[in-house]
Amino acid sequence: MDTFIIDVPVPSMGATVSELNVIVIKVKAGDRVTKGQRLADLESDKSAFEFESPCEGVIRAMLGQPGATMTSGQTFCQIETTDSTQRHLESKSAPTSAAPKPATAVIWTPRATKLAQEAGLDPAKITDIEATGPGNRVSGDDVQKYLAQRKS
């Protein structure tokens, strides 16, 4: 069978969600994957979910990285496959290793960002908040605790 490389895109979560945060990556370049296998955990401002492989194959490049924010349609990873039903995703370029860099600052969940903004605060300027969420991210609970401490 003919093998080819596909660009697996970050999924679209609807008209109002264009960015997703990468929480955890479960595979790496060189790993063999099966259709439906969990590649990563992603989070939008509305929910967290498991991102699954669209086909069987071998991961040739992983562009998504924990802590990165990616846009819908952006290439998450490249898979070498023989699954002809995925031909529409065939890559126009060679496998790449250029991955989005994780943020070097504290990573905020979308809910935490929204709560801080609703309280009139700029999350980018808050440096003294304790991050207790998954992957050491600032969670909504962290913001609520922070706001309560500021009132006392």
pLDDT in tens, 120-141: 988 888 888 888 877 677 888 9
List every span in the chain annotated with CATH 4.10.320. 110-151
Per-residue pLDDT tens over the stretch 1-37: 789 999 999 988 777 777 888 999 999 999 999 999 9
140-151 and 110-118 are packed helices; what angle lies between their axes, rounded to 10 degrees? 30
CA–CA distance, 99 with 137 (Å, rounded to integer):
20
- Please provide the DSSP assignment of 89-129 as one string: GB-SS------PPPPSS--B-HHHHHHHHHTT--GGG--S-
Q: What is 110-151's CATH topology?
A: Dihydrolipoamide Transferase (4.10.320)
At 53 the three-state DSSP class reads coil
Bridge partner residues of 19 (DSSP):
71
Strands 57-62, 75-81: pairing kind: antiparallel
Domain covering 4-89, topology: OB fold (Dihydrolipoamide Acetyltransferase, E2P) (2.40.50)
For residue range 63-95, what is the model confidence (pLDDT) as tens digits? 888 888 888 889 999 999 999 999 999 988 755
The predicted model scores a pTM of: 0.64
